[in-house]
Amino acid sequence: MKKKSKKKKWFIGGGIFIIVIILLIVMSKNNGSESIKVTTEFAKKRTIIETVSANGKIQPETDIKISPYISGEVIQLNVKEGDKVAKGQLLAKIDPEIYKTTYERMNAQVNSQKANLANSRARLAQVEAQYKKSQLDFQRNKKLWNEKVISDAEFEAVTSSFEVAKAEVKAAKQSVIAAEHQVSSSEASLNEAYENLTKTSVIAPNDGTVSKLNIEEGERVTGASQFSSGTEIMRVADLSKMEVNVEVNENDIVRVNLGDTSIIEVDAYLNKDFTGVVTEIATSADIIGTSVDQVTNFDVKIRILSDSYKDMIPSENPDFSPFRPGMSATVEIQTETAHSILTVPIQAVTTRSDTSSNNESKDTKLDEDTDNNDSENEVTPKDEEIIEYVFIYVDGVAKIKKVETGIQNSTYIEISEGLTEYEEVITGPYRAVSKRLKNDDAVKKVKRKYLFTKDD
């Protein structure tokens, strides 16, 4: 019985020993330097076009809002939306009856004032004749008075009559001037009434297409004034010259210049790209939102070049435009182009903190930073400098290299210093490049499709 008990203990002890050995082997394997699966790509010389992306709406370059000068009922509407119009063409007519009445009244008032002017001039001629008679009487009587022929009383009476006649001439002249001013005022009112009468006709200011019609015949409209722009009855646009109006963020606007080429994608034509050129950049910003979450953008206008869509214009309708005002578009503004420069994929470049005052080697410091930098929101101390690095694949080992970068596009970034052509850089996975990899780590190069699969 004791022998069986001892055998049983030996078996149990042996089993525990074997399990412990297996666990130690597994732990030793897990704690060993396991290779990290990575993808690589060679640094090569390429042409990079740096771009700024923005979204916006297509609008005509010339889009005139037409409002009437006067108020009233629209009694005639000669166009409909989409019609082509020529400069000077009658677009609409506002009821002119009240303006006709005003014009006729002003015309009658002008005639009345002209009659008053004629009467004032006749009165002036009359008093001037009386003045001349009084002047002659005064001169004769003055000679007689000097000769003591007439009394002082008689001479004073003649003198008084002469002064009255002189004053009446001055008054008559002022009456004529006043009548002339009244005639001028009446004529100005007549001209105003005539202008209002002619403005009952709404005329096309230029050639174009009625891109928007806001009223129907019989509706009442309000005329423009110093306090209001009036009722917008329609818009006349030149659809042969279209542009994209986009908003560019303040961080990107400094890279945009007049004349920059742009690639335009219109949502309505997904399989075709159009070419444009920057024609206008706003100098003042559009600030959207509150002071806490405000966004600062600048308006940029990009003309769509007609050569990029001429194949879409049918020969039987040369005035046809494939674009309509308000269409959505995305633009890629090409701000800079560099030819034959050394590049790597963007994801191959990572930034790490570097403290210049630390006496440890940069590689050691990078290892410590990588281990401790698990939080993406960690604040970088003020005495630390952010430096860019890439990892080079060398015989199964990752070697870190400091680099300096330049322009970039959506795929590649320029390496201006730190790499040579055809060096093999590690491009993925992203977390390994950005956080996990350390200098001299063992890595295993695999194809992208095997990057996240388990080894057999």
For residue 397, is pLDDT > 70? yes
Q: What is the pLDDT of residues 247-301, one digit of tens each?
A: 999 999 999 999 999 999 999 998 899 999 999 999 998 887 666 678 889 999 9
- Tokens linked to 173: 């002249």
Strand 36-42 vs strand 443-445: parallel, antiparallel, or unpaired? Answer: parallel
Q: State the average pLDDT for the chain.
A: 85
CB hemisphere CA count around 21 (13 angstroms): 6
- At residue 4, what are phi and psi to the nearest 5 degrees? -65, -40
Residue 339 to residue 399: CA distance in whole angstroms: 28
90-104, 290-304, 364-378, range with greatest mean pLDDT: 90-104
Edge-first strand listing for the sheet containing 208-213: 63-66, 234-237, 208-213, 84-85
Q: What is the CATH number of domain 240-337?
A: 2.40.30.170
Contact 413, 378 (CB under 8 A): no
For residue 213, is pLDDT > 90? yes
Q: Could you say which architecture CATH assigns to the domain 65-95+201-236?
A: Beta Barrel (2.40)
Edge-first strand listing for the sheet containing 72-77: 201-203, 90-94, 72-77, 220-221
Taking domain 36-47+344-450, whether its CATH number is 1.10.3980.10 is answered by no
Taking domain 98-198, whether its CATH number is 3.30.230.10 is answered by no
Cα dihedral: 315, 318, 324, 325 (round 10): 160
Q: What per-residue confidence (pLDDT) applies to 53?
A: 92
- Secondary structure of residue 229 in the 3-state scheme: coil
Residues 6+ away with beta carbon under 8 Å from 388: 349, 350, 351, 402, 403, 404, 405
Q: Where exactly are the structural domains of the chain?
A: 36-47+344-450, 65-95+201-236, 98-198, 240-337
Cα dihedral: 338, 340, 344, 346 (round 10): 20
Cα 154 versus chain centre, distance = 91
Establish whether domains 65-95+201-236 and 240-337 are of one fold: no
Q: What is the pLDDT of residues 424-443, one digit of tens each?
A: 999 989 888 988 889 988 99
Q: What is the pLDDT of residues 149-190, one digit of tens each?
A: 888 888 888 888 888 988 989 999 999 999 999 999 999 999
Residue identified by tokens 């004073």 is 156
Q: In which band, very low, low, confident or very high, does the pLDDT at 341 lie, cut at 50, 70 and 90?
A: very high
User: Which DSSP string corresponds to 126-146?
Assistant: HHHHHHHHHHHHHHHHHHHHH
Q: What per-residue confidence (pLDDT) applies to 66?
A: 93
Q: What per-residue confidence (pLDDT) applies to 368?
A: 43
Which H/E stretch holds residue 423? none
